[in-house]
Structure 1
Amino acid sequence: MLFNHFAQVAYKPNYKRVTLSLLLSISPAICAQQLPCNPSCSNTSGEYINEINRVGVLTVDNVALSGVAPADASGNYTYENTVLSLGRGIIFPGTENSELNATKLTIKSQASLNTHARAITLGSHSNNTMLTSTINDSSIIFKSANGSSGKNTIGILMESDMSGQVYNINFKNTDMHISSSASNNMVGGIWTYSTNGFAETNIALDNSNLTVESALGSAYGIRTENKNNPQNSIITIQDLNPGSINVKGYGAAYGISIDTLGKNTIIENKSDINVQTTAKSGQAYGIFTRTQESIINTQAQNITVKGGILAHGINTQGMGNQTIVNSAAITVESSNQATGILTQSTSNTGNVTVSTVGDITVRGSGNTYGISATSGGNSTIDVASKIDASNATGTGIYSKTTSGDNNIRLHAGANVIGGSNGNSAGISMQSISGNQKLTLEQGSQLSSLGDLALSSENYGGNTEINNSGTIIGYANLTGDNVAFNNQSAGVIDLKDFGQGSKGDITYNVGSSNGTFNNAGLIKFADENFDGTATNAIFNVATFNNSGIINLTGKNPDGKNDLVGDTFTINGNYVSEGGSIYLNTVLDDASSNGGQGTSDLVVVNGDVTTGSGATNLYITPTASTANLGQLTMGDGIKVVDVQGTSSTDAFKLGRPVVAGAYEYTLGQGQNDENWYLSSYYKGNSGGNGIIQYNPAMGAYLANQTAAVQMFQQTLFDRLISSSDGKNNDASKSLFWMRTKMTHGSYDSIHGSLSNRTRSYSLQMGGDLNVWALNNGGYFHLGVMGGYGDFKDTSKSDTTGTKTDGKVKGYSTGIYGTYFANQDTNLGLYVDLWSQMGWYRNEVSGEAQIGTKKYNSTVWSNSVEVGYGLPLAISGEYQWLATPQAQFTYNHYDVDNQHDKNNLYISNNNASGLDTRLGVRFHARGVQKDLIEPFLEVNWLNTTAKNELDFNGKSYKDGFAKDRFEAKVGLQGNINERWSVSAQVGGQWGNNSYNNYQGQLNINYKF
């Protein structure tokens, strides 16, 4: 079919539907009110090439059209399953809703156009009745190759000259690709424009993708302009399901741009936004708004922006309130300035609010900001993600207010990082007249590579810092009323030793009335390079400490040998309990001008005690040569007080021992400083009493315990009772005894008190009994035993305790000769030899860990006695048995070295033990009776019971000469079983005493 102008075939208004099933060719004639020209039409100047002007309803189904488009001021248009290849595009200027379904629209503009080129035009400059346009399951490709310079290439244009217009456009499952290679050409994907003000504009993207490219001009993904009418318009951009907005421009590029005088702008974006400029001078914005008030809620996965001299992820500007809620991961890169989120409210009443759970990363050689917020009213920033501005001049968060309050909160999971430049901060706050408040929740972190974690300026209000997270670096807080509260969960890491770090860390807390309240942890970080000691300076009026201050950083090799750090308070220190940890070289204090070498707390003010003393925890440095030496003078200075100090302000949190000595804390004789000294001075003046490491007493006690644990006499094994019925030497014997002891003595020149207790169990039995020709008998048997010993060695001056433990096993043989059948009378000789193996431990409140080691004892004994009858009194016969026993013990143990740098060597516990005594015994004459007995002995040992500690010999307080007494009862249960029980004690010099109880059982067969 051929419609042409000469045939006078014109469109009739009553044609409601046109169904075409054949090739349609339109000859050039009239471009209005009829089917227009074919692609060869050239009777116009180019603006209306290949288009159709329509009045009425046009429905095109399943038809391929080439070179035509409907265009008119009114009408409803529906394109379904249609492929259009057009030059000028589609114009929907009517008053009803428009819809494109499954449409593939390809527009290639090769000619230079006199006006702006667009693929789809919605509305007109003179029509204000358009409602909703919908594009479903479609593809729109618009390529402008040679458009005129300065002209625009637009994918979809919504325009109106009328005020009060309401525009809606919905995209579903649609891909749009708009591009231009023309110079100075603005390329837009979706552009809404009004000269008199929209009442409302709504753009909805549902699983749709928009790509916009301008090779030599600027590019906009979505652009809205409403410049000439400042009415209360609403602009809403919303994603129902995620797609993508991809924009690449030369001079400038915008993912979403809204420039309007209206008061309400709402962006609810789920689509990823990728924006890039190719020119070195290019400026790139992910989302840009310049409006009265903005609400931006980004729910995209990613917003990625790469610019030349400037790049912003989100930028909002206006005189009203600006609100940004972000969950997208924002990445911004620029050769100069880069900002993740920038928001500004220029009026005195406008507030800015930023809330982000999406990570923000910015990189640029110029000033960069993760978040930048300025407001004449209030500023509120909430962060629950990572803000990384760790380039040279980066600031993680910058917030400034002129008349309102400035509030920043880092939620759990937040991590804000500033740059390495000296002025680059993790967070920078500024307020002209309002109050400022920064809150770090537990699980949040604030830092910068240059160590300036926090900067705050306040010229009229109050500043409050509440930290329950982690702050790495220092703070510079100016203002008259500043309160820094490091709460119980808060951590302040004074030194990161990173890029741009310096030797001194200065916390400025207020100009005059600053208060620092520490209830958490303040610490020096471990060094990650071989550096020098660090000085932390707190310029504050009052420093209240109820938390922890830890100066004991480690070197890269993990050794705790850094010493010389200082913690200086230029103000007053109030002790509210709390703790301070210091590294100290525990030597003679001759270094450093006679004051020793230690981490040091310096108070350039007064020290007072509030609710309790501050505990000092001293860690001896790993690099100390000859660790543990006697101090000189006042000792090693650990707290330097320039003002006055209360006498109960500091105390040791745990005992301090190194090598052979223990160190205590006290004030100097002529100043207010606090020192560590190896002497207990008391009221004696002079150097006082040397304080020894109580572990020395435990090592010595363990040695003695191993030697004494399984010592025995014949009558510890044998119960010899009654009138000869059950004391027959011809009978074999099984025996068992259990013994418990409890004792005490002084050691190491009387400076240590030892309290001991032990338990042992031994048993054995005869292997054979031989009757000798002279009427005597010889018994041969074996034995074994288990023992457990514990000693508590306590310093008499400090009360510090160390525990020694020994667990042992033994096995041996014995042989006993009786001159006659009655074991109570006549001569006996008892021989035994046994080997003991022992597991030793030393631990305590002053010890680093538990020291474990092994030892052995080989003992050999000869005992001789002679039973003598004394008298018979009533039912009892009294006997006396003089005794002599000689036992040689050989003790063996390797040299030891514990973690407190105590070297133990040259054990001297081997030697001869001698016992001389007499046993008095009453036995039944005619029948079995309960029989009393009494033993008294003199005990002597030639063993010196010495050990060398760090090259010097020290002796145990175990008495060389001791008096022993035992008293007990024994009796027969029947002809085979006998039992005895006894108690006893030993006494000697060095306040030695040892009390014991023993239970014996015999079985004769």
Structure 2
Amino acid sequence: MKRSTDMVVKQSSKNNGTRIFFKNAITTLLFTAPLSASVFAASNATVIDNGAAETVPGSQTSPWILPGAIYAGVNSTGSLTITTGGVVRSSTTTSGTNGSVLGYNSGSAGTITVDGGAWYDGVDPSNQALSNGTTAVGGGGTGTLKVLNGGKVGLVFMNVGQNDNSTGTVVVDGAGSQLLATVTPSSGITVGTSGTGSVTISNGGSIISNSATTVGWGKNANGTVNVDGSGSSWVINSGPMIVGGAGTGSMSITNGGVVKSAGGSIAGGSPADDAAGKGDVTIDGPGSLWDIGARELNIGTQNSATKLPSGNGTLVVSNQGQLNAQSIYINAENGTVAIGALAGQTAAAAGTINAKKITLANTNSNLVFNHTDTSGNYVFSPKIGGLGNVSQLSGITVINNVNSYTGTTTIDGGALIVGDAANPTAVLNGATAADVTVGSNGLLAGTGLVNGLVVNNGTVAAYNTLNGQESQPNSNFTLAGGIDNKGTINLAGAQPGNTLTVGNKYTGDNGTLILKTYMGDDSSASDRLVLNNAKADGNTDLVIKHGGGTGARTNTGILLVDAQNGSTTTPDAFRLSPSSDGYRQNIGTIAAGAYDYSLTRGGDGTAGNPDSWYLTSREVKPMTPLTPSTPPTDQGNQPPVGPKTQPDPATTSAPVLRPEIGSYIDNLRAANTIFTMRLHDRLGETQYLDDMSGNGKVSSMWMRNIGGHTGSHVGNDAIATQANRYVMQVGGDIADWSNDGLDRYLVGLMGGYANQKSHSVSHASGYNSRGSLNGYSVGVYGTWYANDTTKQGTYVDTWALYNWFNNSVSGEGLPSESYKSNGFTASVEAGYTHKTGEYQTLNGMVNQVFIQPKAQITWMGVKADNHTEINGTDVSGTGDNNIQTRLGVRAFIKGQSKLDEGSQREFEPFVEANWIYNTDNYGVNMDGVRTSMDGARNIGELKLGVEGKINRQATLWANVAQQIGDKGYSDTQGTVGVKYAF
């Protein structure tokens, strides 16, 4: 509001008694001629000019009562200082219409400082009107009014920067400092009337006025208001605060400052101009407040001539600052409300708008969230309507209302949450809304509904996937207008069960969909993409996160993409991503627990929706694998078990067990059996031990080398495994003695190295796995022989080993898994050698025939470390602490050929048959699913070989053994050994 009483005073031809104050002199002159240009004629005005500096009390006594106005700085400079105890009353004539002027003419400068004192211009100390004048701070020049240290100023109306090119400054600083313009209902203040004006209230100062305040009233005006600090305030009792009339206005409320007004507007125009100007308001800091009551804050206005939106206005609420209003209506040429900071500025802490509604009345109206609150607790409470736009640039903003705006939504940074856990009915925008664009650094999430096509270049997520919200329940998020997914959709919360419902269309543009799934049967919980009367096309990588489960057989499959209400999907709309837990590279399936799952459109069988997508473990259908980034690594030259083929979907019904099961089991089997031995494996024939050194004492070293091949099956032939092994053991006797000259005791030490490589294949899927084991053993042995003079009798052999191994399992397309195993094995063996007869060969040599029944019991205590695979599957071995028993008989012939007659060379061909029994089957537990090796409980063995003494010191032996079990179990082994006695 502007109030003027012809403040540019002309020369007068009348004789008026005017007080003129000149520098260093106070003179009362009675002009009888027209005033010169340096002297103003105004009724009873007191002029302080030409450098005059008056003080009250001081150069003037207090109270200093003046009937007319004070003109401080008319053509030059003039100042008045009112200190504590000082009172100046001006414009006390009740018929006066002129108020005081500070800085009257262009080039002048007038200052009044009220430092603890009081100045009343046109009012009395009881705030009663004495005149109807307007106080001008900066009439045509530069004016300054300072109210400090508890000073008081009362006036009727004030223009700050009244005329063109004028500059006015008002400072109200300090607790108790006060400026009042409340004497009449129309009393008020204009900041930047036609010139430049500023008002600063700080450190607990206050202004109270009645009527509307306009900051930047005229077209060329520029006004600024700063209310700073706790206790600082401006209260407008019955009028609005208008920041930016036809000119430019700005208002900053900071650090706990408060402005209260009866309504408000930004870039609201003025009666003098059809078009509105520019207005900017900032409310920043804890306790900072602009309270306009139960009224609407208008940003911009309508040009009365063009009927188009007019003005440029911004409102920034930051750092816990607050705006209280009934509603906000933005109808500017360019109008913006920003939480935190404007676009293009550094994000700041959020403030709060307490209003029921904000209306973005035209397409140039904008609501901007550019703040630093990432707690997820910042809730923007006003409903948003209209035609304008919403931009999310930084921070996390929660919107829980049902909104209706139809402009664009841009999420370039931070997160926009549409509905938290307690508000699943939230709606972001109107049914006819424009696109919602999620930038590469943006995130859209929630439990509510979004209209308009979502163009996702960043992330769309379920609410409980957000940091700090992991404990919230699963929910549904709806994109009613569809989505063009060029980024990531993340539904994988703490537990499976979130859904994303998409209407209209789902287009995958090399985007990603992340789901968490319980890996079980058809009833397993999973996050889901729900298509509601929508068409899904393009290509999307499906990332499956392990959400528990041990794997199980499926019939139709676990539902992942649910095509409802006539929705359709193209055959290549979705594919498994290599980022899935348990993904087999270049294969396109998932290993989970003991099973392999594949992504199948329509599922298995006929019960599924042909346009829905499922995870199936019942059978594997051919897929188009993703282009491999690197070729598979050769993990050893192992013989193939069989051709790798995809099964016939029409006939396959077995669950798809992972081939890694075979690798884990065979590694454990080998760790327990690879170093086991029998007496003859270590020392050759016992009959050569009684006289080798010639003095009854035997000191010897021995070594044996073994090569072997094992074939086995798991899960009723679901997995076949073949393994090749090599073993080298060395040892030597460290002590021997006899109690009676016939028996013999031997004690020795031994150690060994072994390695095995295995190859397993799943018959249901055709996928393979390679296992590897290598390690060492150290141990001790002891033997007792009851050899009589006929070289017959009993023997007892014992040994114990500590074994340790490095193991690996490399499933096809999966990362290699490494783990360790270690433990003890020990054995007791007993036998009896009995001569059954002898015969004479054709060349006259005598050969002796022996039979040797025997029994052995072996404890196998090597255990594999519990292991968690990279895909999350827990793996533990079963069957360790197995007790293996062996009952058998050995028949051999001892003799010489004619060529060796008279030498020490003797040879013993032999044949041996054994029955081997295992108390437990070796197996593996993968996520609670136990699978064991087939056919190894009862094993038959046939062994053929020859053992011989080359001379008094050297013995050689070689043999081949074949074991046959049930269900395809077999083992073939060849051994070559040498012993040298010293």
- Fold match by TM threshold 0.5: yes
Q: Deviations over 1:657-679 (max 9, x none)?
A: 46x99899543247626666664
Instruction: Between the two structures, name the one with larger relative contact order (CA 8 Å, sep ≥ 6).
Output: 2
Q: Deviations over 1:175-195 (max 9, x none)?
A: 89325596875776x74364x
User: Is the Cα contact below 8 Å between 1:735 and 1:1000 reproduced in 2?
Assistant: yes
User: Is the Cα contact below 8 Å between 2:243 and 2:265 reproduced in 1?
Assistant: no
User: Is the Cα contact below 8 Å between 1:107 and 1:143 reproduced in 2?
Assistant: yes
User: Is the Cα contact below 8 Å between 1:252 and 1:284 reproduced in 2?
Assistant: no
- For the residue of structure 2 that corresponds to 1:292, the secondary structure is coil
User: Is the Cα contact below 8 Å between 1:785 and 1:811 reproduced in 2?
Assistant: no
Tell me whether 1:746 sits opposite 2:746 in the alignment: no
| Residue equivalent to 1:538 | 502
Q: Deviations over 1:236-256 (max 9, x none)?
A: 5388x97689325374687x7
745, 752, 777: which is aligned to 1:778?
745
| Residue equivalent to 1:643 | none
Tell me whether 1:708 sits opposite 2:673 in the alignment: yes
CA distance in 1, matches of 2:471, 2:878: 48
Tell me whether 1:274 sits opposite 2:236 in the alignment: no
Q: Deviations over 1:834-880 (max 9, x none)?
A: 366789999887999999998765432235679999999xxxx9999
- For the residue of structure 2 that corresponds to 1:705, the secondary structure is helix
User: Is the Cα contact below 8 Å between 1:343 and 1:373 reproduced in 2?
Assistant: yes
Q: Could you say if the C-alpha distance between residues 76 and 273 of structure 1 is closer, same or farther in structure 2, counting changes exceeding 3 Å?
A: farther
User: Is the Cα contact below 8 Å between 1:468 and 1:491 reproduced in 2?
Assistant: no
The residue identity in structure 2 corresponding to 1:507 is L
- Residue correspondence of structure 1 range 276-355 to structure 2 within 5 A: 277=260, 283=263, 292-294=276-278, 296=280, 298=282, 301=285, 304-305=288-289, 307=291, 309-310=293-294, 315=299, 317=301, 319-320=309-310, 322=312, 324=314, 326=316, 328-329=318-319, 331-332=321-322, 334=324, 337=326, 343-345=330-332, 354-355=342-343
| Residue equivalent to 1:940 | 915
User: Is the Cα contact below 8 Å between 1:363 and 1:389 reproduced in 2?
Assistant: no
| Residue equivalent to 2:571 | 609
Q: By how many angstroms is 1:579 displaced?
A: 0.9
CA distance in 2, matches of 1:309, 1:727: 119
Q: Could you say if the C-alpha distance between residues 934 and 544 of structure 1 is closer, same or farther in structure 2, counting changes exceeding 3 Å?
A: farther
Q: Could you say if the C-alpha distance between residues 584 and 699 of structure 1 is closer, same or farther in structure 2, counting changes exceeding 3 Å?
A: closer
Q: Deviations over 1:243-286 (max 9, x none)?
A: 689325374687x7435223xx26385854632549xxx54789
The residue identity in structure 1 corresponding to 2:502 is F
| Residue equivalent to 1:567 | 530
- For the residue of structure 1 that corresponds to 2:177, the secondary structure is strand
The residue identity in structure 2 corresponding to 1:329 is N
The residue identity in structure 2 corresponding to 1:142 is K
416, 421, 438: which is aligned to 2:397?
416
CA distance in 1, matches of 2:973, 2:238: 96
The residue identity in structure 1 corresponding to 2:87 is S
CA distance in 1, matches of 2:848, 2:187: 126
CA distance in 1, matches of 2:534, 2:515: 19
Q: Deviations over 1:60-113 (max 9, x none)?
A: 479464233782382434448863532349742433442659861522622512
CA distance in 2, matches of 1:17, 1:574: 91
Q: By how many angstroms is 1:141 displaced?
A: 2.3
User: Is the Cα contact below 8 Å between 2:560 and 2:615 reproduced in 1?
Assistant: no
| Residue equivalent to 1:889 | 858
The residue identity in structure 1 corresponding to 2:129 is L
**CA RMSD, Structure 1 to Structure 2 (Å):** 6.4
Q: Could you say if the C-alpha distance between residues 799 and 15 of structure 1 is closer, same or farther in structure 2, counting changes exceeding 3 Å?
A: same
Q: By how many angstroms is 1:654 displaced?
A: 0.8
| Residue equivalent to 1:114 | 130
| Residue equivalent to 2:191 | 192
- Residue correspondence of structure 1 range 142-291 to structure 2 within 5 A: 142=152, 144=154, 151-152=156-157, 157-160=160-163, 164-169=164-169, 177-180=177-180, 191-192=190-191, 194=193, 198=194, 200-203=195-198, 209=203, 211-214=205-208, 217=210, 223-224=214-215, 226=217, 231=219, 233-235=220-222, 237=224, 246-249=232-235, 251=237, 257-262=242-247, 265=248, 267=250, 269=252, 271-272=254-255, 274-275=257-258, 277=260, 283=263
Q: Could you say if the C-alpha distance between residues 957 and 202 of structure 1 is closer, same or farther in structure 2, counting changes exceeding 3 Å?
A: farther
| Residue equivalent to 2:70 | 71
Q: Could you say if the C-alpha distance between residues 553 and 15 of structure 1 is closer, same or farther in structure 2, counting changes exceeding 3 Å?
A: same
461, 468, 472: which is aligned to 2:445?
472
- For the residue of structure 1 that corresponds to 2:797, the secondary structure is strand
Q: By how many angstroms is 1:755 displaced?
A: 4.0
Tell me whether 1:815 sits opposite 2:786 in the alignment: no
- Residue correspondence of structure 1 range 621-770 to structure 2 within 5 A: 653-657=589-593, 666-669=603-606, 672=610, 679-680=618-619, 682-683=647-648, 688-692=653-657, 697=662, 701=666, 704-718=669-683, 730-734=697-701, 743-756=710-723, 764-770=731-737
**Going by fraction, where is strand more abundant, 1 or 2?**
1
Q: Deviations over 1:895-940 (max 9, x none)?
A: 9999979999898943412465678999998999999999875453
CA distance in 1, matches of 2:378, 2:731: 80
Q: By how many angstroms is 1:797 displaced?
A: 1.0
- For the residue of structure 1 that corresponds to 2:670, the secondary structure is helix
945, 951, 961: which is aligned to 2:940?
961
The residue identity in structure 1 corresponding to 2:104 is G
- For the residue of structure 1 that corresponds to 2:288, the secondary structure is strand
| Residue equivalent to 1:16 | 23
| Residue equivalent to 2:639 | none
Under a length normalisation based on structure 1, what TM-score does the superposition of the two structures give?
0.66
Q: By how many angstroms is 1:778 displaced?
A: 3.1
Q: By how many angstroms is 1:337 displaced?
A: 2.6
Q: By how many angstroms is 1:380 displaced?
A: 8.2
Structure 1 gaps of 5+ residues are: 1-9, 20-25, 34-46, 555-559, 621-649
Q: By how many angstroms is 1:338 displaced?
A: 5.6
| Residue equivalent to 1:37 | none
Q: State percent identity of aligned pairs.
A: 12
- For the residue of structure 1 that corresponds to 2:331, the secondary structure is strand
User: Is the Cα contact below 8 Å between 1:361 and 1:388 reproduced in 2?
Assistant: no
Q: By how many angstroms is 1:817 displaced?
A: 2.9
Aligned residues: 856
CA distance in 1, matches of 2:701, 2:332: 100
Q: Deviations over 1:499-533 (max 9, x none)?
A: 99997643211xxxx55325302316558xxxx97
The residue identity in structure 1 corresponding to 2:312 is Q
Tell me whether 1:988 sits opposite 2:964 in the alignment: yes
The residue identity in structure 2 corresponding to 1:961 is G
User: Is the Cα contact below 8 Å between 2:212 and 2:239 reproduced in 1?
Assistant: yes
- Residue correspondence of structure 1 range 787-936 to structure 2 within 5 A: 794-799=761-766, 811-817=779-785, 819=787, 829=795, 831-834=797-800, 857-862=825-830, 885-890=854-859, 909-914=882-887
Q: Could you say if the C-alpha distance between residues 651 and 698 of structure 1 is closer, same or farther in structure 2, counting changes exceeding 3 Å?
A: closer
Q: Could you say if the C-alpha distance between residues 115 and 106 of structure 1 is closer, same or farther in structure 2, counting changes exceeding 3 Å?
A: same
- For the residue of structure 2 that corresponds to 1:159, the secondary structure is coil
| Residue equivalent to 1:485 | 455
Q: Could you say if the C-alpha distance between residues 836 and 717 of structure 1 is closer, same or farther in structure 2, counting changes exceeding 3 Å?
A: same
User: Is the Cα contact below 8 Å between 2:596 and 2:657 reproduced in 1?
Assistant: yes
- For the residue of structure 1 that corresponds to 2:711, the secondary structure is strand
Q: Could you say if the C-alpha distance between residues 773 and 522 of structure 1 is closer, same or farther in structure 2, counting changes exceeding 3 Å?
A: closer
Q: Could you say if the C-alpha distance between residues 78 and 561 of structure 1 is closer, same or farther in structure 2, counting changes exceeding 3 Å?
A: farther
Q: Could you say if the C-alpha distance between residues 789 and 850 of structure 1 is closer, same or farther in structure 2, counting changes exceeding 3 Å?
A: same
The residue identity in structure 1 corresponding to 2:63 is G
- For the residue of structure 2 that corresponds to 1:345, the secondary structure is coil
The residue identity in structure 1 corresponding to 2:215 is T
The residue identity in structure 2 corresponding to 1:654 is I
